[in-house]
Structure 1
Amino acid sequence: VSVAMIFSVIVLPAFMAILGPRVFYGKIPFSFSTENDDGTGIWARIATTVMDKPWAVLVPTLVILLGAGLPFLYADFSIASRDALPPDDETRVGFEHMDEKWPEGAVNVAMVVLDFDGEDPLAEDNLRATHNWMHEQIEDKRVITAFGYALPDASMNESSVVAYWQTPDEYLTAEQIATREYLRDQFLSDGVTYIIFSLNGPITGEDGRGFVADVREDRDDFLSDLSIGDDGQLLVAGFAAYSLDVQDAIVENLPIALAFIFISTVILIFIQVRSVIIPIKAIIMNILSISATFGMLVFVFQWGYGESLLNFTAQPIETTNPVIIFCIVFGLSMDYEVLMLSRIHEEWEVTGDNTQAVANGLQKTGRLITGAAAIMVVVFMAFGLSSVVILKQIGLGLALAIFLDATIVRALVVPSTMRLMGKWNWWSPRWMSKTKEESTIQQPAEEPSV
């Protein structure tokens, strides 16, 4: 963005100066005219019509946007797995066959790593405690089976496991010794071992993440039953754990990121239009369009309305996609907002008439905003043609958000709210006003009814 800005400010004007009148060579005969800036164009008529009946326009549009955003309340998030591939992809079909025929070896597993910190995992008390703990987890409906050094065979009880590991070699056959040494090499190394839990449900399902969270929450009780060193620990790995950790990392830093974005936006827009109300309104408008977009993502990709058309399988929303979509859409939407508000503010300073300022501002920026938005929608829709569902979510989300922002929000919600606020749009405290004259203009007064 910085490079594009520098190019537009420095390189593009120089290039245009060099071309001179030749820049108009090859002009398309049916291109849109930019000459109708007298306040009687279609955007001015739309704004004026909306402002004549602001409540009749604002309430239905808000209901539509809020209704579209409701599914987001039921959103489920997960890191993308093999399900992100098309249903007929060879890799995905192979994995699905393996899960169907050998569910105990499914990819959806939780791997628990136990570090005894120098103590012997094969001590009798450790064997018994670990065996009992594994059996408790197997009773969880989210677990198919478990495999680890304290449960080499599902038919073994607590005593047989102790006997299996502590019986001297001279009392075992060569085959039993070889099997035990194989398990020792596979599961034990310098006081560290691991346990594998095969989990029910899809690899991206909420049950897997819930099981990981429960194990982590209760691990202190289990560790207290073991004979381990001071630095002994229990760690949970696997896809479900990875997905949960990514979500937690995003949620942990999200408030700071949102606060930075919102505060910076309020300051920058206030500097431009000298109003406290307009920056807050601009943020609310953007949140409305983004929330509606997120709701539609859940409706399409999580609930599966459109999976046959777009060739994907219904699945949770990819964890990082809402963050990516929010940042891109918020930046683009605010860019359009600033472009429109700057023009409206100029008209307001000239006329002092809020209604006329909004109408003229929309008229003179409407074509530019919708043209730029149309380009972005086409570009982002190209992502929707991807065979990978992650890119489909990003492409459809961005295209839908820009479309909503450039049509419903800019054409209906913005003018209706600005009409209802009247001169309050331009209010700011006297001590924040730039000049005495500006301070006088910015004090709200009753807007004459239209």
Structure 2
Amino acid sequence: MSSPPTAATDTGSEPDDVRPSPRLPFALRRPRWVLVLGLLFLIVTGALAGGASSVLKNGGFDDPNSDSAFAANLIAQKFPAAQPNLVLVVRNDDGPVDTAAETGRRVLATLAGERDAQLVGSYFAGGDPSLRSKDGHSALTLVHAAGDEDAVGRTTSRLHDRLAKADGPVTVRFGGLAQINNDLTEQTDNDVALSELIALPLTLILLFFVFRGLIAALLPVLVGVLSISGSLAFLYGLGQTISVSVFSVNLITALGLGLAVDYSLLIVSRYREERSRGLAGPEAILATLRTAGRTVIFSGVIVAAVLTTLLVFRQYFLSSFAYAGVAVVAITLLCVLFPLPAALLLLGDRIDKWSFAKPRPERPAEEDRMWGRIAGATMRRPGLFGLLVVVLLAVLAVPIFGAQFGVPDERALPQGTESRVVTDVVRTQFTGDTEAALSVVSPDWPGGSGDLAGYAAKLSEVPHVTGVASAAGQFVQGRQVGPAGPGSSSGGATLLQVNHDVEPFSTDGEQLVQAVRAVPVPGDHRVAVGGLPAQYLDVTASIGDRLPLGVGLAALLTFLLLGAATGSILLPIKAVVCNVLGLLAVLGAMVWVFQDGHLADLFGVTPAPIAVTIPVLLLVIAYALSMDYEMFLLSRIKESFDETGDPVLSVRKGLGGSGPIISAAAAILAVSFFSTAISGVSLAKLFGIGTGLAVLVDALLIRGVLVPAFLKIAGRAAWWVPPAVQKLTDRISGTVGHR
């Protein structure tokens, strides 16, 4: 092997820079082969990625082991007619809906020919007055589409294509849970495509100004494309075997591009820095991988480890994001550690082609750059600046105390969406709300049992219960007021419908479910309580039960991995406390907007209880990303501390050197997440805006103020570590640094 080229001779030409050497990593020995493999990877995964949405599912918010989930499954098997999931509204704007009887007959005939759909009830098949609107212009047809979520979606789409149309003043519109899910899927697919169209050009523009050149700016985008394509292909394969949420696509596009920018920015910036010090070719890249590469590996491991804590929750909506997130991190790391170094080696000086950067021979020392001066100002009054930031974050967190949680409904969709319009019509124009009723079902209680009447009477005496319909009769306030309704008994199982007058997603709804479940059940019969209030109670209880485990694991993993990376005991504790404070502030801001309705018109959302799974998701993703920047900053500060031994100077040098990278990466990552603000689905909008805001709060307030303030107050104690632990961290650091 020839002697290492110098900066003056590194022109990007091939011979000396890329000559094979057994002592170099494969990416530097065979850079062209690595790039060819990357291209093949993109072609293969790109062909699979397009089919990802077809195997992903809506829903996944329920705990499959919960009482309400058992009730829903039993009702679907034994009493499908009691659980309509598709609502058709026939409306005549010019007169009574009775004059649209021909349209009604066409609807019934089409449903009769659909084997996967069962008619539950229709105004045009019996004239039930409860299925005719108050204004007389609309009529309902209730349908149960059978099968899992995918089968229900396909059946709904077929029926929609054949029936949902306008015939003059007469229209047929679809609603119900099945159509809401279809609308959510369609809206999500459209939003993801539009979000990418917005995020990619904006990211490229920002990268152009950050790197001050086009070639360097294109590298992170190419890494992001590889990461997103590979992750979507992974979801396509995973979705063939297990249930995966369609909303995980939003995470892949935002996180894939964001991490690609973060890690590429760190690698390319450090590579340029090593070249400015006189290194070139493989030597510059090896020096980059020993420093920035080590940071990237530790950062990726921490992010992936935190994301895996979502697996402790039983809802596949949350576990899907663990799979998607780990896939994104792993593929991004591979791309940053193999194709990116290979591209840098082949480009050489050409990385600065088409650059508007002006040479700065007398660039200020790191401690004298803008972020270094900010750190210095903060450390002159660490208590004051730290207190101001803590008070600001605490004020932003106040709305959390009034937070209300629920499960997603039609309000997650934009106004004017078909299923949302139908739901509003049903609620305002028709009497009764069977969707909000509680369903009490037993698999081993024949409808003719004598003790069923007594149980139904007891249920009707529960506060806020307005009536109970059962196979033993209809009951109000403990007295039978009518005969048994049809379809309340099937194959040894029985169903009781408990009507009430409370808001399903509320404290009153929770208390109602608890009171119904507390009613003694005669004999040894098993009884399960389902319906919206029960679903809400069970989902919140399930997440609440598992949340301490998830939080504990995230904190433990952070402590171990960040401690191993920095060789400190106090710094991981500080990281957890500061990051939690920042995340609570962001969650409070989201409650203020999305629940309380402040600025709701600006963001285009309908105020509603926060979907209980979204805060968990937001907190985990944002916490993982905050550890990303924590690692970027602390690794640079530790590097300076090891060189100087000065705790104050090392903070100024570390923040001065890493601050521009962190702020630029945070701005670009925030753009990636903020691009989901165009989404019509409020769940995605809340997640994107909240995560983007969390990234900015973390980069500007926590990294820029709280970290320097803490390190100034703690002094050398911040870096203390027991000798035995020091040996272990040195061994880990050496292994990772020379990988």
CA distance in 2, matches of 1:360, 1:251: 43
Task: Establish whether residue 245 from structure 1 lines up as the match of residue 546 from structure 2.
Answer: no
DSSP-derived class of the 1:104 partner: coil
Q: How does 1:30-109 map to 2 (within 5 A)?
A: 35-109=363-437
SS in structure 2 at match of 1:304: coil
Per-residue deviation, residues 38-97 of structure 1 (Å, max 9, x unmatched):
421111110000110111111111011112112213222211111112233332222122
One-letter identity of the residue aligned with 2:381: K
Determine the C-alpha separation between the residues in 1 that align with 2:442 and 2:715. Answer: 66
Distance 1:32 1:396 in 2: 37
Kept in 2, the 8 Å contact 1:111–1:238? The answer is yes
Letter aligned with residue 385 of structure 1: I
The CA deviation string for residues 18-52 of structure 1, in whole angstroms up to 9 with x for no partner, is 12211111114589999544421111110000110
* CA 1:66–1:33: 2 relative to 1, 3 Å: farther
Residue 472 (structure 2) pairs with residue 147 (structure 1): no
The structure-2 alpha-carbon separation of the partners of 1:101 and 1:199, relative to structure 1 and needing over 3 Å to count, comes to farther
User: What TM-score, normalized to structure 2?
Assistant: 0.51
Residue 392 of structure 1 is matched in structure 2 by 685
Identity, in percent, stands at 29
- CA displacement at 1:248 relative to structure 2: 2.3
* Residue identity opposite 1:95 in structure 2: T
What amino acid is aligned across from residue 632 of structure 2 in structure 1?
L
- Structure 2 contact 469–497 (Cα < 8 Å) conserved: yes
| Cross-structure match for 1:198 | 499
Write the distance in 2 (CA, Å) between the matches of 1:402 and 1:34.
32
Task: Please give the per-residue CA displacement for 1:219-262, whole angstroms capped at 9, x wherever unaligned.
Answer: 4x2x1xx3x4x3x1111112222232222222222222222221
Instruction: Look up the match of 2:458.
Output: 133
* Structure-2 residue corresponding to 1:8: 336
Identify if the C-alpha distance between structure 1 residues 155 and 60 changes in structure 2 by more than 3 Å, giving closer, same or farther. closer
What is the aligned counterpart of 1:364 among 651, 657, 666? 657
Contact 1:146 1:198 in 2 (8 A): yes
Q: CA deviation at 1:214?
A: 2.7
Q: How does 1:163-242 map to 2 (within 5 A)?
A: 183-184=485-486, 186-216=487-517, 218-219=518-519, 221=520, 223=521, 226=522, 228=523, 230=524, 232-242=525-535
Q: What SS does the aligned partner of 2:608 have?
A: coil
Distance 1:276 1:155, change over 3 A: closer
Q: Distance in 2 between matches of 1:259 and 1:33?
A: 49
The one-letter code of the counterpart of 2:386 is: L
Conservation of the 8 A alpha-carbon contact between 2:446 and 2:493 = no
Mean alpha-carbon deviation: is it higher for 258-267 or for 146-155? 146-155
Match of 2:637 in 1: 344
C-alpha distance in 2, partners of 1:79/1:34? Answer: 58
Q: CA deviation at 1:208?
A: 2.6
Q: Distance in 2 between matches of 1:351 and 1:155?
A: 80
Q: CA deviation at 1:326?
A: 1.6
Question: Which residue of structure 2 aligns with residue 260 of structure 1?
Answer: 553
Distance in 1, Cα, partners of 2:364 & 2:466: 70
* Letter of the 2:712 counterpart: R
How far did 1:200 drift? 3.5
Amino acid at match of 2:455: T
The answer on 1:26 being equivalent to 2:354 is yes
Relative contact order higher in (CA < 8 Å, ≥ 6 apart): 1
Task: Measure, in 2, the Cα distance between the counterparts of 1:344 and 1:155.
Answer: 71
Residue by residue over 1:392-411, the C-alpha shift from the partner in whole angstroms, topping out at 9 and shown as x without a partner, is 11011101101100111111
Does residue 311 in structure 1 map to residue 604 in structure 2? yes
Measured after TM superposition, the shift of residue 154 of structure 1 is 5.8
TM-score (norm 1): 0.83
For 2:600 and 2:650, locate their aligned partners in 1 and report how far apart those are by CA, in whole Å: 45
- Counterpart position of 2:316: none
Judging changes above 3 Å, is the alpha-carbon distance between structure 1 residues 413 and 191 closer, same or farther for their aligned structure 2 residues? same
CA distance 1:33–1:279, change in 2 (3 Å): farther
Q: Partner amino acid for 1:21?
A: D
Q: Is the 8 A contact 2:457 2:477 kept in 1?
A: no
- Residue by residue over 1:325-384, the C-alpha shift from the partner in whole angstroms, topping out at 9 and shown as x without a partner, is 122111111011011001101111121111111111000000100111001111111111
1:441 alignment partner in structure 2: none
AA at the equivalent of 1:330: Y
Cα drift, residue 287 of structure 1? 0.7
AA aligned opposite 2:337: V
Among candidates 391, 406, 429, match of residue 722 of structure 2: 429
**More divergent stretch after superposition (252-261 vs 303-312):** 252-261
Which stretch shows the higher mean deviation, 31-40 or 316-325?
31-40
Q: What amino acid is the match of 2:509?
A: G
RMSD, matched Cα: 2.6
For residue 408 of structure 2, give the secondary structure of its aligned residue in structure 1. coil
- The residue type equivalent to 2:489 in the other structure is L
2:634 pairs with 1:378: no
Cα distance between partner residues in 2 of 1:91 and 1:252: 33
Separation (CA, whole Å) in 1 of partners of 2:362 and 2:342: 23
2-structure distance, mates of 1:375, 1:30: 23
The structure-2 alpha-carbon separation of the partners of 1:102 and 1:275, relative to structure 1 and needing over 3 Å to count, comes to: same
Tell me if structure 1 keeps the 8 A contact 2:461–2:478: no
| CA deviation map 1:302-346 (0-9, x unaligned) | 111122222222111111111211221111110110110011011
